[in-house]
Structure 1
Amino acid sequence: MRLPTGDGAVAVRTPPSRRRRWGRGVAALAAGALPALAFPAPSLWWWAYGALVPWLLLLRTAPSGRRAALDGWLGGAGFVLAVHHWLVPSLHVFILALAALLALLWAPWGLLAWWALRRAEHSPGRSVAACAVVPSGWLMVEMVRSWEGLGGPWGLLGASQWEVAPALRVAALGGVWLVTLLVVAVNTAVALLVAVPSVRGPAVAALVVCAVTVGSVWAWLEAPAPVGRARIGVVQPGVVDGPGGPERRFAREEALTRTLAGRDVDLVVWGESSVGADLSARADLAARLAALSRHVDAELLVNVDARRSDLPGIYKSSVLVGPDGPTGDRYDKMRLVPFGEYVPLRSVLGWATSVGRAADEDRRRGAEQVVMTVAAGSGPGLAVGPLVCFESAFPDMSRHLARAGAEVLVAQSATSTFQESWAPEQHASLAALRAAETGRPVVHATLTGVSAVYGPDGARIGAPLGTDRSAAAVHDVPLATGTTPYVRFGDWPLWAAGAVLAGAALGAVRRRSAPRPPGPPARTARG
């Protein structure tokens, strides 16, 4: 709009409709970012049960489905940027493009939420349906973005409940996916409670159903019963900067490990990339590790980040070392961090290495998961399932190890690049979910923190080693047998959510194709 001024010039004023659209877009970005506060480091777990409400209310008031999809996309971008903000040192401006692309997954969810919440105004039955449809749509977004190539299952909404005992019991039933469904269902019911007075009864009923579900799972599904213990040492060298970093880190880990002598440990775990050279090519390092094993009277699980002497390329590998040297048990990391360990479509996106800390050379992938047998004491041995860093975010990998007989899951990690961010605490918290899902204890060992250990019920054991620590700690880790429903039945909440969405789509198609009742007969005009 152009308006004349007193001196004859023309002032340009933005139309009110355009200002409202821009304001709405900013509100969508901000609303999408709100759930980030439920994750570590703030770890306001209770915030998750209302964090989506502003976003849902905004979607409900969208003037059209197209605008709702746009608000879903903008909110998704806000969510990705807030939850993954610690990636900025590695990706720099590329994180904006990454957030914009990933956020496209939320555009259909925005449209779905708009449709379901608007229909909920017309009947109690439709409001109840909204409390199932909206969470199911959100879960489909989480499922798709959990693909390794899209960044993996980091920041799943259910993972924000890692320190809530009833939620961990729900995870044993249906994994982190079922926790997410319940959290989003509560948000949907609260949004209806706030915005649609005519369906407050059904909204309250939906909240009651969620509470009763959690209470019933807590009462019905017993926590894993301990059947023994293993003493596991965790070595965290801390930040080692400057020239000769790998060699100096190795010496520091060596010194810390020696302090565990006489403490009756069954296994000593080092973090990811704790050894910077292939042990087949560095007989001196292998000999030092073997001497350490003899000194502490326990085997060592180290992690080698180096170019292989027997295969082309660089691998990240969990390697078991005993008193006579490497035992032959080795696991090569299978799922790699996009940009951190390989660049997707390097011929197109290779420029990312010039603006951030993307990998200069792609790491190679392992072929299969491995369960190692550790010679612990005079017993039959301890079955250990290794995971390397990023892999502890994937529920299916820990579930596979539990099915294969692992008694303890060990995640070797390094988040040194993100030392002063929320990333180390977020990563450590994932181990609690994996423990609860599988009914197996999880040892999360890192180079620079946070190192932590969780029992088979997901409860933390002992004090974690924070990012300011350089230390070795020993934990009495309870072992458990039995199989959780999640290990037995797998990702059934994903199938259930898919069925809900298929049912909703089928119902919508039937309503559209149903013949409409005839209208009143037209009146004949009289002359």
Structure 2
Amino acid sequence: MKPARVFLPAILSALLLWTAFFPLDLGPVAFVAMVPFLTLVRAAGVGPWRRYGAAFLGGLVFFGLAVKWVRVAHPMMALFAWPGITIYCALYWPLALLLLRKLDRFGLPLAATFPAVWVGLEYVRMHFPTGFPFLQYVGLHQLIGFGWYDLGYAMHRISPLIQAADFGGIYLISLAVAAVNGIVYDWAVRVKIVRLALRWPVAWTPRTFTRETYTSAAVLSIPTLMICYGTVQLAHLPFPAGPRVHAIQGDLPQYRKDQPHEADVNTVPESPPVDQEYFPLARQAATSGPNAPPPDLIVWPETCWADDWWFAATGSGENPEMPNFHARVARYQQIIGRQAAELTHTNALLGLNAHEWTGTKMRKFNSALLIRPDGTSAERYDKVHLVPFGEYVPLKDQLPWLQTFTPYKHEYSCAPGESWTRFTLPTAKGVAKFGVLICYEDTDPSIARRYNPSAGGEGVDFLVNISNDGWFDGTEEHEEHLAVCRFRAIEARRSVVRAVNMGISAVIDPDGRIVALPVEESWEKSKKTRGIVRASVPLDARGSIYAFLGDWVPALCWLGIVVGLVLPRRLTIPVIDPTTANTQSAR
């Protein structure tokens, strides 16, 4: 008898799952996409190399297709980052298969074990290696991880379902999707044509469907209850209108943004490309239509203010050059503040690089800086969750050759910020507060949720996400990034204003709905274009259970996994294995 097929099912799962995300965005396919992969758990007559090799191949196919937009950023990204991310993320597929087979000895349906394993590993991928909160207690905590392509993100258009993200985060949505995959598997392997395609014995027939029926009822109750919960959450009065915010979006590819602006003594110096792109947009954003109120805030995308911000650290020591440095910095800050004020005549949130002089060394930050209408500077936020190789080189002192894999030849590493700034925004209606997420910080649910007062800290009225997606030049990254950000709005129950170079800028309300785009009603047309998003920010005073409890869903998943792994083998339950005609213990 030929061994069961494993490579084709793994590749089929990879292709189906890829269609659930952008560019195709066939989200509901995710409810069945992993069913072929699950057949690898109980496939008979298959050696470990073929079984786990097939799982790894499936992961390679999926992530290779899903993150192919990375290659557009830079030739070095195509050579190293794209294959590196693909290989790393693909390893989670055979790891998931290994855990599933270990747990399968208890005879539990895959509708129970698959959600626990898959969501548990999504959490690990989002925080590995140093982003786990418990590492704070041993001084090793640094936010990091790859928080893309969770199963739940494919559901971004099913608004009633994803409202449960304020209860359990994106992990609860992924859990429901994974559980449905497990149910579909249980029924699919009982179909003769499916068994023939998998090279499984056809003679096997179950004595009863009682277990499958009860399991199906229990599992399907999860998304059903989530949809009911979401329907109730969506049944509210219109959100009160908050501050008027204009987010500007340029169409500036990274290669142009990085171009130096040169001039000799015989020519008038040209302004850098980023100023040529964004200054006209800022002037346009400062104006209002005949019936529209003036903006309370104009938002620049990440690092789209050409000039850097310089400042001295508090208590910078007795360096004799510090007084001169303070004087020069003060004059420089006045120039930037005056320029921003003359452009906008209102509060302006600038995305720029900031440099801190400590008296002995210089530190660089990826920052958001608020400038008042009079040109004075207010609060500043320095990005905490940095992107490896994109914003810093890990182990650069110990392994200097790693610089080869980066987009730049010069030293460009940023230092992580140390606090979560609450910005104050005076308006005609009173003072509003907002927090800022820079670039891919909106892919980490642990950051956005801390701005809801349910998390125990000071709350804000809305969030701002500034990003430079000009690296990806019109690929599906733009849409996928916006889809991910929708979940942060729901988890925190706060609107998110997005200002993104090359798009997609938007205003997302606390229910995760897109209420404003540069080109109305079109995600596709709102990327790789110039535009201004104008909206009064919807305000929401609701708390968030997810903000209060944190990552309780993956915690329970890992609790179940660990218990299953450490229980003695004598508790193994004989199960009916549908790949054979015999009753045996799953191994």
TM over 0.5: yes
1:428 alignment partner, one of 482, 491, 494: 482
Deviation at 1:193, TM superposition (A): 1.1
Task: Write the distance in 2 (CA, Å) between the matches of 1:53 and 1:294.
Answer: 59
Residue of structure 1 equivalent to 2:166: 172
Amino acid at match of 1:88: R
Deviation at 1:290, TM superposition (A): 3.6
Deviations 1:193-220 (A, max 9, x none): 1014634424532453234222332245
2:94 alignment partner, one of 102, 107, 110: 107
Deviation at 1:484, TM superposition (A): 1.6
Q: Does 1:132 find its partner at 2:192?
A: no
Q: 2:452–2:544: 8 Å Cα contact kept in structure 1?
A: no
Q: 1:279–1:286: 8 Å Cα contact kept in structure 2?
A: no
Residue correspondences, number: 488
CA gap of 1:326–1:41, structure 2 versus 1, over 3 A, is farther
Q: Kindly report which structure 2 residues correspond to 1:58-69, keeping only aligned pairs within 5 A, or say none.
A: 58-61=40-43, 63=45, 66-67=48-49, 68-69=51-52
Residue of structure 2 equivalent to 1:74: 57
2:341 alignment partner, one of 293, 307, 330: 293
- TM-score, structure 2 normalization: 0.75
1:369 alignment partner, one of 417, 420, 426: 420
Deviations 1:60-85 (A, max 9, x none): 31535835444333333333322222
SS of the equivalent of 1:92 reads helix
Task: Write the distance in 2 (CA, Å) between the matches of 1:489 and 1:223.
Answer: 24
Residue of structure 2 equivalent to 1:343: 393
Residue of structure 2 equivalent to 1:87: 70
Task: Write the distance in 2 (CA, Å) between the matches of 1:181 and 1:348.
Answer: 40
Q: 1:343–1:349: 8 Å Cα contact kept in structure 2?
A: no
1:255 alignment partner, one of 274, 280, 296: 280
SS of the equivalent of 2:367 reads strand
Q: 1:233–1:472: 8 Å Cα contact kept in structure 2?
A: yes
Deviation at 1:491, TM superposition (A): 1.3
Residue of structure 2 equivalent to 1:523: none
Unpaired runs of at least 5, structure 2: 130-143, 192-205, 262-269, 289-293, 311-328, 520-525, 575-587
Deviation at 1:25, TM superposition (A): 4.1
Which structure is higher in helix share? 1
Deviations 1:246-274 (A, max 9, x none): 82312432221212334311111110011
Task: Write the distance in 2 (CA, Å) between the matches of 1:285 and 1:471.
Answer: 28
Q: 2:244–2:534: 8 Å Cα contact kept in structure 1?
A: yes
Unpaired runs of at least 5, structure 1: 1-15, 121-125, 515-527
Q: Kindly report which structure 2 residues correspond to 1:78-227, keeping only aligned pairs within 5 A, or say none.
A: 78-89=61-72, 90=74, 91-94=77-80, 95-114=82-101, 126-127=108-109, 130-147=110-127, 151-196=145-190, 198=206, 199=209, 200-221=212-233, 226-227=239-240
Task: Write the distance in 2 (CA, Å) between the matches of 1:453 and 1:191.
Answer: 39
Residue of structure 2 equivalent to 1:317: 367
Deviation at 1:348, TM superposition (A): 7.1
Deviations 1:340-393 (A, max 9, x none): 11222336765454456267432211111111101222x331101011101111
CA gap of 1:177–1:258, structure 2 versus 1, over 3 A, is same
CA gap of 1:78–1:344, structure 2 versus 1, over 3 A, is farther
Amino acid at match of 2:495: P
CA gap of 1:350–1:162, structure 2 versus 1, over 3 A, is farther
Task: Give identity over the alignment, percent.
Answer: 25
SS of the equivalent of 1:313 reads strand
Q: Could you say which structure has the greater relative contact order, defined with CA pairs below 8 angstroms and 6 or more residues apart?
A: 2
Residue of structure 2 equivalent to 1:472: 532
Q: Kindly report which structure 2 residues correspond to 1:400-411, keeping only aligned pairs within 5 A, or say none.
A: 400-403=450-453, 404-411=458-465
CA gap of 1:468–1:219, structure 2 versus 1, over 3 A, is closer
- TM-score, structure 1 normalization: 0.83
Residue of structure 1 equivalent to 2:308: 278
Q: 1:290–1:322: 8 Å Cα contact kept in structure 2?
A: no
Q: 1:236–1:469: 8 Å Cα contact kept in structure 2?
A: yes
